[in-house]
Chains A and B, each alone.
Chain A
């Protein structure tokens, strides 16, 4: 068989060993998404079969040889109504079914664990709340709802995990979210699906799904020492945010303890919820987000803090539940010595504990 080109053999080998027709289902939503997909495939096949049958049957029955004289027919309101209403009905079913799925995929449950994703040309940076940083790699446990809060540092990207049937655009200057619950341990593709320049096709990675025990081990072995909130705390101190946001009676900036999730009344009279997106905007563009009763003296941080930095700050503010934490920050004129932070076991870090809470 040597006379047959080795290229052909390779091809045949690949065909038989590396050939898949359907992606793995590795998240809770995947079977639901596929159910609708197959329903649509079925409807399409039936529709296509009807059209093909009509065309073929009429072509045979009424070809010129067999049927030399055409019979003029104006139309038929009944038939036309039929093929208007039936497709419409089917499309509406697909619409409702799809919408239910869509709302599920884009409405994270309250107990979801939040992981931050920053897209930049051409890599994915993943920030776990416990301070684990990853690039083009995302470790997640099974059986736990994971919410991804995604943002881009430069152009549009899109975070796609085909095996989970989820995808979300990473937009510059705006947080987007998506969630999933992985079900099957394994390694799956992670793609950037929005064209983002030269190395778009290199902006790929792996999603590694682990059992909860393995994931816990991985978390412990991969910690960078500081939790994300602690990174934020350092940044908070080094940018001297505490000069104004110090919760003192005469403070020039509003207090930040418990601000996350609270209703704020702005100087414009507008009421807003202080969520991730609001906090981000308030840091980068404070002039447009003045809390009632304060003067617009905060400088803009646009272009001075990376998206990772903003995420750390937001995470820090999110976890500010008591004045104690803030006092600690205020007393820190220098950055906290590293050994002090590293001392407690990773699982016991206050920030790491808090992130599990809603």
Chain B
């Protein structure tokens, strides 16, 4: 008995990868390094962020190993501080922020709106070069001995008291910021100007809505981070006296500026992931997303509210009680659209015709983990409980549930979902389903104990801790080992599938998006002729008619 599936592949005996596609169009290194093709740039991004993900992941492994025992015995406290700082910097700025938008978004957004490419292909390429420059600077920082500010660059610690490579790390993030500004800019222009005939705003796939919302955040938020980091660098080198009270600066000002970007940044990280989930859940339940408009506008609502909640990172930092009140209220407001999304996705399953291929498994995992991550965010958004829980492992667990349990699950769902489109070949189904389950189990083992640790009061960023916290830490480390396996598997089988995977055909999932109505891998221009959108998004009946017509005409 095999599980039912929607996968429909062309006859393997006759199927061929189309000779002419974006991968084979030109050969040679230069054709890649000077390309303007959004799909090639997406591929470059995919390779580079995977590289940095594994560096960040190795650092996470070191963190968990150190925390196996209460003493700081694997490494000295200084080393540990550098390891978690580099882990945070690499994961946030070189993996999470560009993960879905710059890879999957870059690859599918032009196809989804029915365009030949992004509006500004050269800017797109520039954005990848900036990313590589930033990555190079981060590697340089690491080679020179790393940085131990934490990813938050807290002043005056970063400006005055540390003698590590704060300047190169700060500038790396500065450059990475411009990379994401350019990506966001490109998406906004493309979505406004390059939609094919008939593609109205409310016919756009929800992936576009959520990436649009995230792009707005990138464009408006990232410059604030950039200038803040420049001020940190100037404060450190020429003591301009903005943040350091010893020079007449205000250290809280840094917190305000930093979180003004870095709170919206978590939505930059999660919104595109939510877009992936909408696509996947709709496709594998053969149904239009329940309440399309509500889901679309909830992305916009998140983007708007995201800018007015930053001070919830500072409830215990001596902002006035009344400011805390306002920011707490707004934080509660931003939680609502996320709840709406979760319920709308759940009800998309209602009366669907559901199958459980790997992307769907990741998406279901996302829903569970994101619900936990979101609810625990409310614990921290409520001022009274924030006092006890903030700056402990509770907050570490919370944002890992959202960022890793949420975003990384969504990223993997998306990678598996669009892999056939990208490469023209299927990944192996059984082992990838196994990987999805292993990831889910490993994840919960790793991060759930950290909620308990945080409630007990274990502070974050501790190289050594009181012995009564050890048992839970051992659980967490054991879970991280499982999680590591879950992340290594896809690398292996996805690489394998490049050569041995089954030929996917145009539309293996029977999905409705325009990207599925063209060949896999697509032509450099995406479509033979610019499509005309004459139906709503997620219109499975249209798809069936379309296929019937094809059978008739071919027959």
* Surface stretch bound by B, among A123-131, A197-205, A222-230, A323-331: A197-205
Contact B161 A200 (CB under 8 A): no
Q: Is A296 an interface residue (CB 8 A)?
A: no
Per-position 1/0 for B254-279, Cβ under 8 A of A: 00000000000000000000000000
Q: Please indicate the chain A residues that have their CB under 8 angstroms from the CB of B315 in the complex.
A: 102
Nearest CB on A from B163, distance (A): 10
Q: Say whether, besides A20-B456, A121-B161, A167-B316, A64 and B353 are in contact (CB < 8 Å).
A: yes
Contact A191 B459 (CB under 8 A): yes
Contact B335 A173 (CB under 8 A): no
Q: Please indicate the chain A residues that have their CB under 8 angstroms from the CB of B5 in the complex.
A: 64
Contact A189 B391 (CB under 8 A): no
Q: Please indicate the chain A residues that have their CB under 8 angstroms from the CB of B316 in the complex.
A: 158, 167-169
Q: Is B368 an interface residue (CB 8 A)?
A: yes
Contact A197 B351 (CB under 8 A): no
- Tell which of A47, A51, A102, A173 touches B251, judged by Cβ atoms closer than 8 Å: A173
Per-position 1/0 for A184-219, Cβ under 8 A of B: 000001011111111111101000000000000000
Contact B346 A51 (CB under 8 A): yes
Q: Is B540 an interface residue (CB 8 A)?
A: yes
Q: Is A37 an interface residue (CB 8 A)?
A: yes
Q: Please indicate the chain B residues that have their CB under 8 angstroms from the CB of A165 in the complex.
A: 387-388
- Tell which of B293, B332, B355, B452 touches A91, judged by Cβ atoms closer than 8 Å: B332
Per-position 1/0 for B314-350, Cβ under 8 A of A: 0111100100110011001101100110111011011
Contact A201 B465 (CB under 8 A): yes
* Surface stretch bound by B, among A67-75, A139-147, A264-272: A67-75
Q: B interface, by DSSP: helix, strand, loop or mixed?
A: helix
The distance in angstroms between the C-alpha atoms of A145 and B133, with both chains bound, is 55
Contact A200 B81 (CB under 8 A): yes
The distance in angstroms between the C-alpha atoms of A48 and B372, with both chains bound, is 7
Q: Is A273 an interface residue (CB 8 A)?
A: no
Q: Please indicate the chain A residues that have their CB under 8 angstroms from the CB of B251 in the complex.
A: 156, 171-173
Contact A99 B294 (CB under 8 A): no
Q: Is B531 an interface residue (CB 8 A)?
A: no
The distance in angstroms between the C-alpha atoms of A99 and B462, with both chains bound, is 29
Nearest CB on A from B371, distance (A): 5
Q: Which residue of B lies closest to A161 (CB)?
A: B457
Q: Please indicate the chain B residues that have their CB under 8 angstroms from the CB of A193 in the complex.
A: 390-392, 459-460
Q: Please indicate the chain B residues that have their CB under 8 angstroms from the CB of A321 in the complex.
A: none
Q: Is B378 an interface residue (CB 8 A)?
A: yes
Nearest CB on B from A279, distance (A): 17
How many residues of chain B get a CB closer than 8 Å to chain A's CBs? Answer: 97
Q: Is A43 an interface residue (CB 8 A)?
A: yes
- Tell which of B161, B455, B540 touches A154, judged by Cβ atoms closer than 8 Å: B161
Nearest CB on A from B73, distance (A): 13
Nearest CB on B from A92, distance (A): 6
Contact A73 B288 (CB under 8 A): yes
Nearest CB on A from B449, distance (A): 10
Q: Please indicate the chain A residues that have their CB under 8 angstroms from the CB of B467 in the complex.
A: 14, 18
Q: Please indicate the chain A residues that have their CB under 8 angstroms from the CB of B4 in the complex.
A: 63-65
Contact B154 A95 (CB under 8 A): no
Q: Which residue of A lies closest to B338 (CB)?
A: A87
Q: Is B162 an interface residue (CB 8 A)?
A: yes
Q: Is A166 an interface residue (CB 8 A)?
A: yes
Q: Is A21 an interface residue (CB 8 A)?
A: yes
* Surface stretch bound by A, among B120-128, B192-200, B468-476, B547-555: B468-476
The distance in angstroms between the C-alpha atoms of A331 and B317, with both chains bound, is 42
Contact A95 B354 (CB under 8 A): no
The distance in angstroms between the C-alpha atoms of A296 and B368, with both chains bound, is 64
Q: Say whether, besides A43-B375, A160-B391, A162-B388, A198 and B349 are in contact (CB < 8 Å).
A: no
Q: Is A278 an interface residue (CB 8 A)?
A: no
The distance in angstroms between the C-alpha atoms of A44 and B386, with both chains bound, is 16
* Surface stretch bound by B, among A53-61, A248-256, A342-350: A53-61
- Tell which of B291, B347, B455 touches A23, judged by Cβ atoms closer than 8 Å: B455
Contact A91 B378 (CB under 8 A): yes
- Tell which of B162, B353, B364, B382 touches A69, judged by Cβ atoms closer than 8 Å: B353
Nearest CB on B from A211, distance (A): 24
Contact A166 B78 (CB under 8 A): no
- Tell which of A73, A106, A155, A173 touches B287, judged by Cβ atoms closer than 8 Å: A73
Contact A101 B383 (CB under 8 A): yes
Q: Please indicate the chain B residues that have their CB under 8 angstroms from the CB of A173 in the complex.
A: 245, 251
Interface residues of B in 127-156 (CB under 8 A from A): 148, 150, 152, 154, 156
Q: A155-B160, A156-B317 are in contact. List 16 more A-B contacts (CB 8 A).
A: A37-B388, A48-B368, A51-B367, A58-B350, A58-B354, A63-B354, A63-B356, A87-B335, A94-B332, A94-B378, A98-B385, A160-B391, A167-B316, A171-B251, A172-B156, A303-B246
**21 intermolecular pairs with C-beta atoms under 8 Å apart:** A15-B471, A36-B384, A47-B339, A48-B368, A48-B371, A58-B354, A64-B355, A70-B353, A75-B292, A76-B290, A80-B343, A84-B340, A100-B384, A155-B156, A172-B245, A189-B457, A189-B466, A193-B390, A195-B81, A198-B78, A198-B148
Q: Which 10 A-B pairs have the closest CB atoms?
A: A162-B457, A101-B384, A98-B382, A75-B291, A173-B245, A102-B383, A58-B349, A193-B391, A98-B384, A201-B462
Chain B residues with a Cβ under 8 A of chain A: 4-6, 72, 77-78, 81, 148, 150, 152, 154, 156-157, 160-162, 245-246, 251-252, 285-288, 290-294, 315-318, 321, 324-325, 328-329, 332-333, 335-336, 339-340, 342-344, 346-347, 349-356, 364, 367-368, 371-372, 375-376, 378-379, 381-388, 390-392, 452, 455-457, 459-468, 470-472, 474, 540-541
